[in-house]
């Protein structure tokens, strides 16, 4: 089976639709949180995830809406976007977010938005941060989000740790390592200097995770953000993927 991994959609409807179009070969989906925030289409994106009826966990932006994450944790532009999102969210979509777990375990993997030390707020951006979470893993594979950069951090079978950034088309063979953390990057707001939307495909039979990237209409999203009055910084960064 092929499992589509969606994360950090951030209310970017154009990017989400392009990713789903490119995921026609998947059987099921897994959403790792931050469906909302930053972008102009929170309700539409949440409704798509609800219709997919996939396993979904909360991210820090959902946490901000439901009161689990203090707004002061965010920078000014992110706070403004969250406050705007809170005003336009429908009640059914808000209720959906309130019911999301922060961590899930499936047959051969587990998933969390941030880290196993702090589900919603901690970033895993390097080997040291990854090693601390690897020691808490119950499964061989942990899928995370939050960083908006595709990367892998692993514990080798000899006990050594390693890791590197991933790019379009890179495939990680889980069977080669003792424990593996993978971030498939962000759909709605990439930060790896590549403005294409990024997602992952987990082949449950081959035990591999592949990174895939697709182009989408960035300027259309930017125009909607400007009309909504969202911060200029958030608008401009989409163009550069940073």
Structural domains counted in the chain = 1
At 36-78, the pLDDT tens digits run 999 999 999 999 999 999 999 999 999 999 999 999 999 999 9
In a domain, 131, yes or no: no
Sheet holding 103-105, edge to edge: 103-105, 109-112, 141-144, 179-183, 151-155, 161-165
In a domain, 157, yes or no: no
Q: How confident is the model at residue 214 (pLDDT cuts 50, 70, 90)?
A: very high
Residue (of 171, 154, 180, 168) closest to 206 by Cα position = 171
In a domain, 124, yes or no: no
Say how far apart CA 76 and CA 54 lie, in whole Å.
Answer: 32
Structure tokens given for 107: 């047959």
Say how far apart CA 152 and CA 150 lie, in whole Å.
Answer: 7
In a domain, 128, yes or no: no
Q: Is the full-model pTM beyond 0.85?
A: yes
At 10-46, the pLDDT tens digits run 999 999 999 999 999 999 999 999 999 999 999 999 9
| Surface-to-core class of residue 97, CB atoms within 10 Å of its CB (0-12 exposed, 13-18 middle, 19+ buried) | buried
In a domain, 158, yes or no: no
In a domain, 36, yes or no: yes
Say how far apart CA 124 and CA 133 lie, in whole Å.
Answer: 8
User: Following DSSP, what letter does each residue of 75-118 receive, concatenated?
Assistant: -HHHHHHHHHHHHH--HHHHHHHHT--SEEE-SSEEEESS-SSS
In a domain, 119, yes or no: no
- Domain range for 72 is 2-110+168-175+185-240
In a domain, 154, yes or no: no
At 151-183, the pLDDT tens digits run 999 999 999 999 999 999 999 999 999 999 999
pLDDT of residue 225: 98
Q: What is the CATH number of the domain that holds 43?
A: 3.60.21.10
């Amino acid at each position: 089976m092929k499992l589509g991994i969606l994360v950090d959609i951030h209310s970017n409807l154009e990017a989400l639709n392009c990713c789903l179009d490119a995921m026609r070969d998947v059987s099921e989906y897994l959403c790792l949180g931050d469906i909302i925030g930053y972008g102009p289409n929170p309700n539409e994106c949440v409704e798509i995830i609800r219709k997919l009826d996939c396993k979904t966990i909360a991210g820090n932006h959902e946490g901000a809406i439901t009161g689990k994450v203090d707004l002061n944790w965010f920078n000014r532009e992110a706070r403004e976007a969250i406050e705007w999102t809170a005003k336009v969210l429908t009640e059914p979509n808000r209720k959906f977010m309130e019911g999301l777990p922060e961590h899930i375990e499936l047959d051969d993997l587990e998933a969390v938005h941030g880290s196993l030390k702090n589900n919603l707020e901690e970033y895993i951006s390097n080997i040291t941060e990854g090693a601390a979470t690897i020691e808490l893993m119950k499964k061989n594979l942990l899928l995370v989000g939050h960083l908006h950069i595709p990367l892998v951090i692993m514990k080798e079978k000899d006990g050594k740790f390693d890791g590197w950034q991933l790019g379009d088309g890179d495939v990680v063979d889980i069977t080669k390592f003792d424990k593996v953390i993978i971030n498939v990057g962000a759909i709605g707001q990439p930060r790896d200097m590549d403005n294409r939307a990024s997602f992952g495909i987990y082949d449950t039979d081959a035990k591999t995770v592949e990174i895939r990237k697709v182009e989408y209409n960035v300027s259309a999203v930017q125009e909607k953000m400007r009309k909504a009055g969202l911060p200029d910084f958030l608008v401009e960064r989409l163009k550069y993927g940073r």
